[in-house]
Amino acid sequence: MTYEEVRRDPAVQVYIAQADASMEALGFTEHSFAHVTRVAKLAGDLLQTLNYPARTVELARIAGYLHDIGNIVNRVDHSQSGAVMAFRILDRMNFPPEEIAAIVTAIGNHDEGNGVPVNALAAALFLADKSDVRRSRVRKQADIALDIHDRVNYSVTDSRLEIDKEQRIIGLELTVDTQVSSVMEYFEIFMKRMLLCRQAAQRLGLTFQLSINGQKLL
């Protein structure tokens, strides 16, 4: 079974769409196909760049695509409910137990509230997910002044996750429009995520660096 087969599965498409509809009703940023597709690509590309086996790269893409389906149940503990849902989906599609275990572990550990990058797949998913900060995730520009999460996301005009294999560094490079949101506001809501990104990078044998507008901050 492949990433493309999972991506085309009708039930998976319904779950992702409905999970995002719930997030929209709650006032959260976009968590639909654009987000999960980007996370899937980033997670897979990260492990591919680090020369992980092709099948591990494929599993990272699958974990990235399925990681937010738990929002269909509730935003609270969505990583755990999403892991259970992913188990049912992958079991139905006849994935072997060891691959289901790897994907479920990654999904169950992708939230900064209770997740830990316990293995390479979980680490890659965490880095890919938390680096997806961008203007296009904001649904309503009118809410920017009222909501710090919308304001910070809208202020990011460019976001890149890049690896220097020789130096063993993974860098998140952000371009932030400080007329929209200050760098301090970014840290106010994302500091815990960035510290866990450091742990995730270490799990992959890398050093994490955060740069905003060309300045290294972490």
Euclidean distance between CA atoms 84 and 82, whole angstroms:
5
**Residues spanned by the domain of 164:** 3-216
For 108, the token pair is 């169950």
* Domains of the chain: total: 1
Euclidean distance between CA atoms 31 and 50, whole angstroms:
27
* Cα angle, residue 198 at apex, residues 136 and 149 outer, rounded to 5°: 30
Please list the pLDDT of the chain residue by residue as tens digits (218 residues). 899 999 999 999 999 999 999 999 999 999 999 999 999 999 999 999 999 999 999 999 999 999 999 999 999 999 999 999 999 999 999 999 999 999 999 999 999 989 999 999 999 999 999 999 999 999 988 778 888 999 999 999 999 999 999 999 999 999 999 999 999 999 999 999 999 999 999 999 999 999 999 999 98
| Phi, psi (rounded to 5 degrees) for 96 | -70, 150
Euclidean distance between the first and the last CA atom of the chain, given in angstroms as a whole number: 39
CATH code, domain carrying 107: 1.10.3210.10
pTM of the model: 0.96
Within a 10 A sphere around the Cβ of 186, how many other Cβ atoms? 24
